A and B are shown apart, each in its own frame.
Chain A
Amino acid sequence: MAVTDRRPATVALLWMLLLMATGAHGATLPEDKVDAFYHRYEGGGMTIDGPSVLVRKGAGNQVSFSGQYYVDSVSAASVDVLATASPYTEERTEYTLGADYLEGNSILSLSYTNSSENDYEANTLYLGISQEFFGNMTTLTIGYARGWDTVMEVGNDSFEEEADRQNYQLGISQVLTPNSVMGLDFEVVTDEGFLENPYRVNRYVDPSDPTNYLYQPERYPDTRTSVSAAVNGRYYLPWRASVKGSYRYFTDDWGIDAHTVELGYVHGLGPNWTLEGGIRYYSQDQADFYSDLYDYANSQTHLARDKEMSTFSGITFSAGVQYQWEQISVPGVDRLQLGLLVDYLDFDYDNFRDVTASGDYLPGQEPLYGFDAWVTRASVLFEY
């Protein structure tokens, strides 16, 4: 994999340049705006909240710049943390700078993101091109992202590992009728390096006492390649509403298969209000090397007790509302909108057990874990 790594990237780049050369008349850049929201995740013993502010400004007719500041403030006492450590608070800050360039009916996008917290640093470079064809009925998007991560460990200053990522994205959106549009998306992700979590451990039966278990650090493969393919469709309903459906299939070389199904409904109420609601169902099969409880130490080359690698399913119910002012008397402001989005998540694990459950359980007999969470986003958006 390492030797051929550079070639797909160069190929992707050449494709983007070639596509730009085939343009006719144009697409449009996004509007200048300030887009800020407060986000809050509460559930599974964790509260994560923080602000996000994005500012976008065009320079001339062909270029638009954007900058985003985002923070996650974590106060966590999740089941992983409670099982093996003590509750903690932490902050992750993320900055993104982006530029979009319009030429004919192609938009070339470039962005750089830096995410940093006390034990993890991630840098990502993204290059994308979006091209409209066929009387602007078809939109093709190609994206390439490259990430460089540094994994550290609080309390262990000598620990520092790297992990690299590459994402290859292809999307096609096609207008079918004056009332419907559908899309196909395809993405390949490869990771390489230290992919496990330095704090997380897995458990095995204590050889000297079968009613007890011991811990050892998790051990993941150094590489991971995944493929996902999704299809979605949107249909306009005559009373100023729409329905949307999507399905995504995911598979990777760690043995994980996942399905995601989403349905959504959006309803326009007069010129100012928009209401929306949706439901999402997610299910996945475990990684080949996952186990909630191993029979003995080092029973496999790779060990994972990360619940993210287990067999589980999750359902989300969501609702939202946006209010847009029709006419703004504030000089310089073209459009002003307030929004509120609320999601209720309910996850149930088929083979990850809650070792913090009260009561005396034999290893492997603890109740299966599950959690629910509320996610809220309150936003203000104005175009100028």
Chain B
Amino acid sequence: MRAASMRRFLPCVLPVLLLAGCSAPEPWVKPYQRANLADPVMLDSRRGEAGNYIQHVYGARESARGAEGSSGGGCGCN
């Protein structure tokens, strides 16, 4: 097969390789070790909706937009 058409199959092959290859590592931060990550000082959500407002201010004055931050960390409960 020509190189160009072979490359089209790569995205399909990748997941199979990942599954067949290495065994996944164990999560190293256990659910009962999340005390500090769950502390409000580590969470932007502590500020509530008021925390997001400043992005309106910058959005109206700056050309840059996007990638303002996603959530994660926290207690990871359930």
Contacts and interface: CB of A to CB of B under 8 A. Distances in A.
Interface stretch (A149-157, A209-217, A233-241): A233-241
B46 A274 contact: yes
Question: Interface centre among A178, A183, A188, by most B CB within 10 Å?
Answer: A178
Contacts of A268: 39-41
Contacts of B24: 134
Contacts of A45: none
Interface in B18-71: 24, 26-31, 33-37, 39-42, 45-51, 53-54, 57-58, 61-71
Given A39-B53, A68-B49, A136 B36 contact: no
Contacts of A218: none
Contacts of B17: none
Interface residues of B, number: 43
Given A134-B27, A181-B42, A234-B42, A169 B61 contact: no
Given A185-B68, A189-B66, A178 B33 contact: yes
A141 B71 CA distance: 8
Nearest to B76: A136
B39 A377 contact: no
A282 B58 contact: yes
B27 A341 contact: no
B70 A139 contact: yes
B49 A35 contact: yes
B69 A27 contact: no
A175 B76 contact: yes
A37 B53 contact: yes
B1 interface: no
Interface stretch (A250-258, A353-361, A362-370): A250-258
B42 to A, nearest CB: 5
Given A35-B49, A339-B48, A341-B50, A183 B70 contact: yes
A139 B62 contact: no
A277 interface: no
A174 B49 contact: no
A37 B65 contact: no
Given A35-B48, A181-B72, A242-B42, A28 B66 contact: no
Centre residue among A137, A234, A320, A347 by max chain B CB count within 10 A = A137
A105 interface: yes
A284 B65 contact: no
Given A26-B78, A137-B27, A282-B58, A309 B69 contact: no
A308 B29 contact: no
B16 to A, nearest CB: 16
Nearest to A238: B36
Interface string A131-174: 01011111101000000000000000000000000010101111
Interface centre among A136, A139, A183 (most CB of B within 10 A): A136
Interface of B: 24, 26-31, 33-37, 39-42, 45-51, 53-54, 57-58, 61-73, 76-78
30 contacts: A39-B50, A41-B57, A52-B50, A105-B78, A135-B30, A135-B31, A136-B27, A137-B28, A167-B66, A173-B70, A175-B29, A175-B73, A177-B29, A181-B42, A183-B69, A226-B64, A248-B67, A250-B64, A256-B64, A268-B39, A287-B63, A308-B61, A309-B63, A318-B54, A322-B46, A324-B40, A343-B54, A347-B61, A377-B50, A379-B49
Interface of A: 25-28, 30, 33, 35, 37, 39, 41, 52, 54, 68, 105, 130, 132, 134-139, 141, 167, 169, 171-179, 181, 183, 185-189, 226-230, 232, 234, 236, 240-242, 246, 248, 250, 252, 254, 256, 258, 260, 266-268, 274, 282, 284, 287, 308-309, 314, 318, 320, 322, 324, 337, 339, 341, 343, 345, 347, 375, 377-379, 381
Which are the 9 A-B pairs with shortest beta-carbon distances?
A173-B72, A135-B27, A171-B70, A187-B66, A136-B76, A181-B73, A139-B72, A250-B64, A258-B64
Given A139-B70, A181-B73, A337-B48, 10 more contacts: A25-B78, A39-B50, A134-B24, A135-B76, A136-B31, A141-B70, A171-B72, A228-B67, A242-B41, A250-B64
